[in-house]
Amino acid sequence: MTDLSTKYMGLDLRNPIIAASSGLTDSVENIVKLEINGAGAVVLKSLFEEQIMMDIDEQRMNNMYGSYDNVEDYIGFYTKKHRIDNYLQLIRDSKKKTSIPVIASINCVSASEWTEFASRIQEAGADALELNMFIMPSDGNYAGADIEQIYFDIIEAIKQHITIPVALKISNFFSGMANFAIKLSESGISSLVLFNRFYRPDVDLEKMKITSSHIYSNPDENAMVLRWIGILKGKLACDMAASTGIHDGKTILKNLLVGANAVEVASAIYKNGMGVIPQMLTEMTEWMKAHNYNSVSELIGKLSQESVTKPMIYERAQFMKYFSDVK
């Protein structure tokens, strides 16, 4: 029998498919359905630090009692408490109704005092915590090193409050990607998730306004993930999970082969429904049987940079082979 189970951040997953943080994981009902359809774990929809602060600012602006400090402090406290209490209840209820690992998620932009909330996430029963982080390098007053330090500050602040595993979901927008990833892996985190996917602006020429571009990922976006997981496998002091562009079972296998311990999926489920999960698992099982692999553990890292005979293939940036003869 083919064994699809994997170990991720010290957690036992029945298979490598993790339902990524999204609207798909914002209710107990959906999380139960994801488990029934075969998901190995779920990452709850992120609690956004920026959104909480925006809500507080908006309510303070609408304060009918005037700008009294004690009233404004209460508004901020109540807004924050309401959001957090609802999130903690989602964790508790999800743990009661399901048996798969439940990973909480925080979208961070600072190492402010609210990171103490992480301890309440642990108390509520979350099996792990994923920090989804991207600090836009749009302020010309900050150097790259200054921005990178914020990541370490947040990790340190979070780790002071919890003992459950912590994953860090990052982008590939760093000048020294390999060096930065290695240092992050040595900071005490249990996994790096490569890569987060951002809101993409577009321009509506008829309405003359900024709109959102493609919401869902496409399979081509996984190439960057494959490259970096393959390069980093064996160099990090933590696990890795692949995210973005994973739409079928064969792509899951590819990400495992280059070094991922698990994969996070959202767009494929949005586009095809939760039934795509058992389809992916079937596709994985059939391929593994056809190629005489009995377990996922046999696959992980088999084609990483450190394992292949031509490791430089991962670092090639130009299309030399294909375009050298083009006039």
3-state secondary structure of 59: helix
Indicate whether 44 belongs to any domain: yes
Both tokens assigned to 272: 């095809």
Q: How far is Cα 213 from Cα 210, in angstroms, rounded to an integer? A: 9
Closest CA to 132 of 73, 23, 48, 28: 48
Closest CA to 233 of 311, 310, 174: 311
CATH number reported for the structural domain that contains residue 227 in this entry? 3.20.20.70
Residue 122: burial class (beta carbons within 10 Å; 0-12, 13-18, 19+):
middle
Domain residue limits at 231: 6-323
Domain contains 56: yes
Rounded CA gap, 173 and 31, in Å?
31
The answer to whether position 225 is within a domain reads: yes
Residue 1 inside a domain? The answer is no
Contact 125, 92 (CB under 8 A): yes
Contact residues for 188 (Cβ-Cβ < 8 A; gap 6+): 155, 159, 166
Q: Does the residue 170 lie in any domain?
A: yes
Residue 200's Cβ-count burial label (10 Å; 0-12, 13-18, 19+) is exposed
Q: For each of the chain's 327 residues, which pLDDT tens digit applies?
A: 899 999 999 999 999 999 999 999 999 999 999 999 999 999 999 886 544 444 434 444 444 444 444 434 433 444 467 688 999 999 999 999 999 999 999 987 666 656 778 899 999 999 999 999 877 777 788 888 888 999 999 999 999 999 999 999 999 988 899 999 999 999 999 999 999 887 778 899 999 999 887 788 999 999 999 999 999 999 999 999 999 999 999 999 999 999 999 999 999 999 999 999 999 999 999 999 999 999 999 999 999 999 998 888 888 766 555 555 544
- 191: its two tokens: 């996994």
For residue 48, what pLDDT is reported? 65
How many domains does the chain fold into?
Answer: 1
Q: Give the whole-angstrom CA distance, residue 226 versus residue 117.
A: 34
- Give the pLDDT of residue 72: 40
